[in-house]
Amino acid sequence: MSNRPRLVIGGTGSGVGKTTLTLGLMAALKRRGLKVQGFKCGPDYIDPTYHTAVTGRPSRNLDTWMVTPDVMREVFWRGSEEADISIIEGVMGFYDGKDPKTNQGSTAEISMLLEAPALLLVNIASMARSAAAIVKGFATLTEGVQIAGVVANQGGSAGHITLAKTAIEQECGIPLLGGFVRQEGIEIPERHLGLVPAIERGELTPLFEKLADLVEDALDVDAILEIACSAPDLAPAPNVIFGKGAGSARVTKIAVARDAAFNFYYQENLELLEEKGAELLFFSPLAGEKVPADADGLYIGGGFPEEFAAELSGHEDVRADLKERIEAGLPTLAECGGYMYLCKSITDRAGAAFDMTGLVPGDVKMQSRLAALGYREVTALADNFLFAKGEQARGHEFHYSTLAEDGELPAAYFIKGLRGEKAEGYCTGQLVAGYTHLYFPSNPALAERFVEGAKRYGQTRR
C-alpha cells in the first residue's frame, strides 16, 4: 500500500471553471514547495499542456472507455510516483461520460475507481438555497461517490457566497471551502493558437501566478490539502501494459515531430514506444528541421498545422525530404494534424491555400464549425507495420477540417463512433494516417509493432 494524496476537480457541467480552479490550485500548491502531478479525465490534449506548464511534470490522461479500469489505475500509479499530491481535472459535468445511462468514462467513475475525494465546482449565479439542491443531487446520484468539498463560482459578492455556504452545509453536510466572485481578467486564453510557444516564452506565467493568488485568497487551501491527504492508501496497480517490453534496451530510433504545429501526444504513447525499445528523436518541421537521418520510424502527431500553414509550406526542403523518406519505406504514423500535413494542401479559414507534403492525394479545408468530435474504435482494414488486419484500438477524434480526396483513398481503418461506422484515413504498407488520435494503451501491441517495424526497416537500409 502507498499513500498517494489525490483530489478530483469536478464540475456541474462544461464551462463552469474547472480548468481555472485546477491551474490556480496547482500553482498555489507548487508555490508551497509541493511536487504536483496533473491528470486530465478523458482524451483532452489542451488542458494537460497547461498542467505540464504549471507543475513541471508531464500531465497524463485518465480514461475508462479507451482502456480498462486496471490500465487507468496503472497510468495513475506510474504518473503519481514521487509526487506529493495529484490533482485530477474532470471532464464535462461530473457524471458525463460515454453513455447517459451509466458512469462509464465519467469523472465520477474515475474518482470512485481511484478512491479519490472530489471537489465539486458549482456556478451559484442567481441562486442561494437552490445551490444546496444541486450539490445534494450530485452527492447522492451514485452510491460510492465522495464529494468532500464544494467551491462556488460566479458569486455576486462575498455575502452571496456566504448564503450558498449556509444552505449547502446545512442541507448536504458538505463544506463549502470558498468561492470566486465574478470578475474580469481571469479567463484562460484561447486554447489553441500559439499555446505552446506562449508557454515556452513564459507569457502565461503571470496568469498562473494570478490564479494562484486568486485561489489562496478565495479558498481554504489548507482544508483542500487535508481532503487530498485523507484519500486512503492505494495498493500498487498491476503492470498491465508497462514492464513487459525491452525496458532500457534501445533497439531503434523513432523521430517524433514536436513543436507548436504538432504537439498532441499522449504521454503514455511515447513512453510505451520507449518501453518497447525505441529511442525518441524530437524534431521541429516548423523550425525547418528535417526528419533525423538516423531515424528508422516517424510519428507525426496532431496539433494546429493550419495556424502555421504558411511557415510549414515555406520549408520546401523539409516537405520534399519528408515525402522522399516516407516513399522510401520509412514506417510512419500520422494523426490528425500530421495527416493534414501529409496532404496536398491546407486551405485556411480565410480561403488561402498552402502546399503541404503531397503524400496523401487530397486537399484539406478548414471549417468554421467542428467537423468531428468523439471517441473512436478503429478496426484495421489491412496488414501494415502498425496493425494486423482486423485488429482494433481505441482513440479520439477532434478537428475542424475536412478532406476532399482525389478519388477513393486506401483507407487505414473502419471507425465506429456515435454516428455509426465508416472507412477513414489513408494507408500504404509503411504509412498509417488518419484523423483519429490512437491511444496505445488501448492496444499496447501497436507500440511493439511500431518499434519492430522501425527496427526491420533500419536493418534493410544499412
pLDDT of residue 173: 97
Residue 92 DSSP symbol: S
- Final residue of a structural domain among 229, 264, 299: 229
Does one domain contain both 218 and 86? yes
Cell numbers linked to 454: 522501425
Does one domain contain both 74 and 179? yes
Does one domain contain both 203 and 258? no
For residue 303, which amino acid is it? G
pLDDT in tens, 286-333: 999 999 999 999 999 999 899 999 999 999 999 999 999 999 999 999
* CA dist 380 → 2, 342, 368, 446 (Å): 40, 20, 31, 11
Is the entire prediction scored with pTM above 0.85? Answer: yes
Does one domain contain both 40 and 135? yes
Does one domain contain both 282 and 220? no
Does one domain contain both 176 and 257? no
Q: Is residue 245 part of a domain?
A: no
The CATH number covering residue 428 comes to 3.40.50.880
Q: Is residue 359 part of a domain?
A: yes
Q: Say if residues 405 and 360 touch (Cβ distance below 8 Å).
A: no
Closest C-alpha among 339, 336, 255 to residue 298: 255
Q: Say if residues 425 and 392 touch (Cβ distance below 8 Å).
A: no
Q: Which of 27-31, 186-190, 440-444 shows the lowest mean pLDDT across its residues? A: 186-190
pLDDT of residue 461: 78
- Final residue of a structural domain among 181, 196, 229: 229
Active site residue 336: yes
All residues at 6 or more sequence positions from 26 whose CB lies less than 8 Å from its CB, including other chains:
36, 38, 51, 54, 55, 87
The CATH number covering residue 168 comes to 3.40.50.300
Does one domain contain both 224 and 268? no
Task: Please report which helix (H) or strand (E) contains residue 297, including its range.
Answer: strand 297-300
Q: Is residue 242 part of a domain?
A: no
Structural domain for 353, as ranges: 252-460
Q: Say if residues 113 and 74 touch (Cβ distance below 8 Å).
A: no
Distance CA 405, CA 400 (A): 16
Question: Predicted confidence band at 269 (pLDDT cuts at 50, 70, 90)?
Answer: very high
Does one domain contain both 284 and 214? no
> Hey, CA dihedral for 44, 46, 48, 51, is it positive or negative?
negative
Q: Is residue 447 part of a domain?
A: yes
pLDDT of residue 152: 96
Q: Is residue 238 part of a domain?
A: no
Q: Is residue 393 part of a domain?
A: yes
Cell numbers linked to 337: 494534424
Does one domain contain both 413 and 280? yes
Active-site residue, selected from the candidate residues 172, 336, 343, 427? 336
Does one domain contain both 196 and 258? no
Closest C-alpha among 306, 279, 304, 41 to residue 192: 304
For residue 285, which amino acid is it? P
**pLDDT reading at 186 higher than 70:** no
Q: Is residue 237 part of a domain?
A: no
Does one domain contain both 223 and 256? no
> How many domains does one find in the chain?
2
Does one domain contain both 34 and 163? yes
Q: Is residue 403 part of a domain?
A: yes
Mean pLDDT value across residues 95-99:
89
